[in-house]
Amino acid sequence: MPTILRVNGYQFYFYAQEGNEPPHIHVAKGGFDAKFWLLPGRLAVNHGFKAHDLREIAGIIEANETLIVEKWNEFFRP
């Protein structure tokens, strides 16, 4: 489970067994977690985050999308 970013207490990471899915990122903080599809970024699954948290997370993902996609490709398509 490689961690790609840590921003504002959020952990952005991949699960190693999910390379057969389209590019996406998991996010966790305070016992909550969510999954966002990339290209374009959109919420896939939410477990506990409030709307304002999801907006903040989406902004972080958007600001770092190039890095996240590069790391996805390095990890899943070496």
Which distant-in-sequence residues (6+ apart) come within 8 Å of 29 by Cβ? 9, 10, 11, 49, 53
pLDDT for res 17: 81
Instruction: Specify the pairing of strand 24-29 against strand 42-47.
Output: unpaired
Tens of pLDDT, residues 27-54: 999 999 999 999 888 999 999 999 999 9
pTM of the complete model: 0.91
pLDDT greater at residue 17 or residue 38? 38
